[in-house]
A and B are shown apart, each in its own frame.
Chain A
Amino acid sequence: MKKLSLAKLNDLFAAIAQREALYLPVDNGTGKAEYTKWQEGTVYSTALNTGRSAKDFFFPQTENLMEFKMEGKRIDVIDTREECEDFVIFGVRACDAASFDILDRVYLTDPVDTYYKNRRQHGTVVTMACGRPAETCFCGTFGIDAADPKGDVTCWTVEDGYVLRANTEKGEALLAAVDGLLTDTDDKAVQAAQEKTRAILAKLPLAALSTEGVGQGLTKELFDRPEWASLSEACLGCGTCTFVCPTCQCYDIRDFDTGHGIQRFRCWDSCMYSDFTKMAHGNPRVSQLERFRQRFMHKLVYFPDNNDGLFGCVGCGRCLARCPISMNIVKVMKTLAKGGNK
Chain B
Amino acid sequence: MQKMMEKRALELLADGTVSRVLGWSAGEFPYDMTPAVFETAEELQDGFVYNDFCGANLSKYLIKESRKEGKILVFLKPCDTYSFNQLLAEHRIIRDNIYVIGIECYGKADVEKLKAMGLEGITGIYMKDGEYTVETVYGSQTVKAYEAMAERCLACKSKKHVVYDELIGEDGEVVTDCNRFDMVEQLEAMTPEQRFAFWRGELSRCIRCNACRNVCPACSCEQCVFDNPNSGVAQKAAVNSFEENMFHIIRAFHVAGRCTDCGECSRVCPQNIPLHLLNRKFIKDMNAFYGEYQAGEDPDKKPPLGTYTLGDREA
Contacts and interface: CB of A to CB of B under 8 A. Distances in A.
Interface of A: 28-32, 34, 48, 51-52, 61-62, 132-136, 200, 203-206, 230, 233-234, 236-240, 242-244, 252, 254, 256, 265, 267-270, 273-275, 320, 322, 324-328, 330-331, 334
A132 B28 contact: no
Interface stretch (B33-41, B81-89, B293-301): B33-41
A135 B31 CA distance: 11
Interface stretch (B10-18, B203-211, B302-310): B203-211
Given A240-B270, A269-B236, A275-B227, A135 B120 contact: yes
B173 interface: no
A187 B192 CA distance: 55
Contact of B272 (A30, A205, A256): A30
Nearest to A132: B120
Given A52-B207, A230-B36, A326 B27 contact: yes
Contacts of A238: 209-211, 213-215, 268
B112 interface: yes
Nearest to B43: A230
Given A238-B209, A240-B270, A135 B121 contact: yes
Contacts of B36: 230, 233-234
A92 B69 CA distance: 50
A326 B268 CA distance: 10
B137 interface: yes
Contact of B209 (A30, A242, A274, A334): A242
Given A325-B56, A331-B34, A243 B121 contact: no
Q: Which 7 A-B pairs have the closest CB atoms?
A: A324-B268, A267-B237, A326-B32, A30-B272, A236-B214, A238-B211, A322-B270
Nearest to A48: B120
A320 B32 contact: yes
Contacts of B209: 238-240, 242-244, 270
B34 A234 contact: yes
B122 A135 contact: yes
Interface in B246-271: 264, 267-268, 270-271
12 contacts: A133-B120, A135-B136, A206-B28, A238-B209, A239-B208, A243-B208, A243-B209, A244-B207, A268-B237, A273-B210, A324-B56, A326-B33
Nearest to B227: A275
Contacts of A236: 211, 214-215
A327 B239 CA distance: 28
Interface residues of B, number: 42
Interface string B110-150: 00100110001111000000000000111000000000000
Given A206-B28, A275-B227, A326-B32, A135 B123 contact: yes
Contacts of A203: 121, 137
A269 B112 CA distance: 27
Interface string B227-247: 100000000110100000000
A61 B32 contact: no
Contacts of A61: 207-208, 237
B61 interface: yes
A245 B292 CA distance: 43
Given A205-B123, A240-B270, A62 B239 contact: yes
B289 interface: no
B136 to A, nearest CB: 8
Nearest to B271: A51
Nearest to A331: B28
A49 B305 CA distance: 44
Contacts of A31: 112, 115-116, 272
Given A205-B29, A265-B239, A326-B34, A240 B272 contact: no
A162 to B, nearest CB: 21
Given A240-B270, A320-B32, A234 B61 contact: yes
A234 B35 contact: yes
Nearest to B118: A132
A324 B29 CA distance: 15
Nearest to A322: B270
A204 B137 contact: yes
A331 B34 CA distance: 10
Contacts of A204: 121, 137
A335 B55 CA distance: 23
B28 A205 contact: yes
B233 to A, nearest CB: 12
A49 to B, nearest CB: 11
